[in-house]
Amino acid sequence: MKRSFVAFFSLRTLRGKAGTARYLRGSVVGIALSLVPLLLVMEVSTGMIEGITARLLEVGTSHVQVSLPPGTGAAAMESLARRIADDPQVVAAVPERQGTGLLVSDKAAAGATIRCIADDAFLRDSGLASLVTLRAGELSLARPDSALVSAALAGTLGVGVGDEIAVLTSYGESMSGPPRVTSVRVAGLFETGYQELDKVMVYAPLSSSARMLSPRASRTLIGVKVREPFADLEPVIRRLRSALPADSRLATWRELEYSRLASFQTTRALLLFIMGLVVLVAAVNVSSSVLMIVFERRLDIGILKAIGASPSSLAVAFLTAGAVTGLLGTALGIALGLLVAVNVNQLLAALQAVLDAGVWVASLIRISLVPSAAALEPVTLFNSAYYLQKIPIRIDALEVALAAAGTLLLSALASYIPAARAAGLKPLEVLKKV
């Protein structure tokens, strides 16, 4: 009988009298709307961090980086790379000489990171090939004077496939003499999807590194890819160290990209904390709603207590009402949040189109009123120059479940105070005031 009473009274509380149910409906909407930005930040930030990390690992630092002495020749580098590739956990080992230079075309000049790699690097390294998208030409470094230039850098220089550019690098022993000029021809244009890499990246054949990059002004290394990059890499490091010269150095991607990835995680944690506060405020609103219902139902509570309803039954009834409110708001918020997160790229494109149209109309009005006025500057919602070209979405079921469980718990806890107040009401005092 007790359980049936609790269920009946909770249902009546949720349905409410004339006007009272609006409090709980408002709480449901508040919780749902607070969960949408939380899930959006959670899933978008997860996808962004994973997308950037993948490009940093596969295109940038590799999983393990073996630094070799500056004087190591191309033949010795290839020999060491083959020795490293014999390890059962290694899937690719690509020798590379890396330096910086100035690229000069007929139209412009730009600084660049020059990466001299083996001719068959894109065949050896499937991870690199999967993230390097060819936009024009061919992904080949077979010719000694060829170069692969990122599409963003090519746009800055105003060059295309087949055009010749000059590469200026410091080559003298004193590092203060005139630069060495090497002519290369653009064999292909590529992009990785991450502008921080794309705007400065140039690939050249390893065979041309000796005449292009000074040993004193470049790094000689072997980029190693392993089967489990996110596992403990210490066993792999120990095996590789025993097969390499004593003057070589090994570093994992966690060491090389520690500061950048820590910054990403810190920013994500701060955003989630702020969104969590919004959910907390929405959950506290459940307490206010239940408290208002307790106030409006104090006559019912007094009568029920007078005929024998126990304080615990009334408390559980109001707790159940608050918990069901949180459940409805959580279910609605999770559904809306996932819908927005999955379609965030399309929503951003639509909002950008609306914003562009608004700026265009405002510019027309401004120029019609003041003919000498300049057009308004366009406003960009998502600048791909600092992030990925497209937001990758990754739905983490565990994170979504934790967000839902946390919201339900907050809603139940927020209902405790008004439920306890309802249980503590004295029937005689209530009936006297009515």
- Provide the pLDDT for residue 316: 75
Q: How far is CA 60 from CA 5, 135, 156, 194, 217, in A?
A: 65, 19, 21, 11, 19
Top-confidence residue, 429 or 44: 44
Residue 64 forms beta bridges with which residues? 224, 252
173/348 Cα distance (integer angstroms): 52
pLDDT number for residue 18: 45
Query: Is the model more confident about 207 or about 421?
Result: 207
> What are the structural domain ranges in the chain?
2-52+261-433, 64-228
Band the pLDDT of 215: cuts 50, 70, 90: confident
Rounded mean pLDDT, 63-70: 90
CA trace torsion 166, 170, 171, 173 (10° rounding): 170
- pLDDT of 423 reads 65
pLDDT digits (tens, 9 = 90+) for 141-154: 888 889 999 998 99
pLDDT score at 424: 65
Q: If you average pLDDT over every residue of the chain, what do you get?
A: 81
pLDDT band at 222 (very low <50, low <70, confident <90, very high): very high
pLDDT (0 to 100) of residue 20: 55
The widest CA-to-CA distance across the chain, in whole angstroms, is 101
Q: Is the pLDDT of residue 121 over 70?
A: yes
Return the pLDDT at 384: 57
Q: What percent of the chain has pLDDT over 90?
A: 18
Q: What is the pLDDT of residues 88-106, one digit of tens each?
A: 999 999 999 998 889 999 8
pLDDT at 426: 64
Residue among 217, 99, 101, 219 at smallest CA distance from 153: 101
Whether the pLDDT of residue 373 is over 70: the answer is yes
Confidence of residue 197 (pLDDT cuts 50, 70, 90): confident
- Identify the pLDDT of residue 1: 42
Between CA 231 and CA 308 the distance in angstroms is 62
Whether residue 293 has pLDDT greater than 80: no
The mean-pLDDT minimum among 110-114, 320-324, 339-343 falls in 320-324
Q: Between residues 382 and 243, which one has the greater pLDDT?
A: 243
pLDDT tens, residue by residue, 156-194: 999 999 999 999 888 655 556 678 888 999 999 998 888
Better-scored residue on pLDDT, 73 or 13: 73
Q: Is the pLDDT of residue 308 over 70?
A: no
Between CA 222 and CA 230, with CA 228 as vertex, the angle to 5 degrees is 95
Average pLDDT estimate for 422-430:
61
How much is the pLDDT for 147?
92
Q: Which of 9-23, 51-65, 91-105, 170-184 has the lowest mean pLDDT?
A: 9-23
Q: Please give the Cα distance from 306 to 267 (Å, whole number).
A: 56
pLDDT at 430 over 70: no
Local structure of 158: helix, strand or coil: coil
- Confidence at residue 55, expressed as pLDDT on a 0 to 100 scale: 85
User: What is the per-residue pLDDT across 235-292, written as a single tens digit (0 to 9) for each?
Assistant: 999 888 888 888 889 999 988 888 888 888 888 888 888 888 888 888 777 777 777 7
Task: Supply the pLDDT for residue 94.
Answer: 92
- pLDDT(84) > 60: yes
CB within 8 Å of 191: residues ≥ 6 apart: 132, 133, 135, 150, 151, 152, 198, 389
DSSP-based helix, strand, coil % in the chain, nearest 5: 60, 20, 25
